[in-house]
Amino acid sequence: NAFQQIFQKATRKHLLDICFEKAYYSHIMGQRKPYKEGFQKIIQENNLNPNQTLFIDDTLVNIETAKSLNLKTLHITNKTQLVNSFQLK
């Protein structure tokens, strides 16, 4: 919820989900990061090519797990980095 509030304030958009085909949240999926099973479930469910799939997170251990599965990663280290990375307006 805190991230959604930061995102909304920074972009004036209500949900991060509108920026992607689908957004997954571990607390909703019941698959906690950094365990690989949640990542693998998403990859399989969507028939994704990990080399063409971006995983975004603010926790390094989660980024490391994603990288171990060959996902592309974006490690968010401050509250405006996501907005700046995608030039959302």
Instruction: Answer whether residue 85 shows pLDDT above 90.
Output: no
Cα dist. 31→9, 20, 51, 81, 86 in Å? 28, 20, 22, 25, 27
Provide the whole-model pTM: 0.68
Token pair recorded at residue 67: 């990288």
**Residue 15 has what pLDDT?**
67
The model's pLDDT over 11-65, given as tens digits with 9 standing for 90+, comes to 766 666 676 777 787 778 888 888 999 999 999 999 999 999 988 888 999 999 9
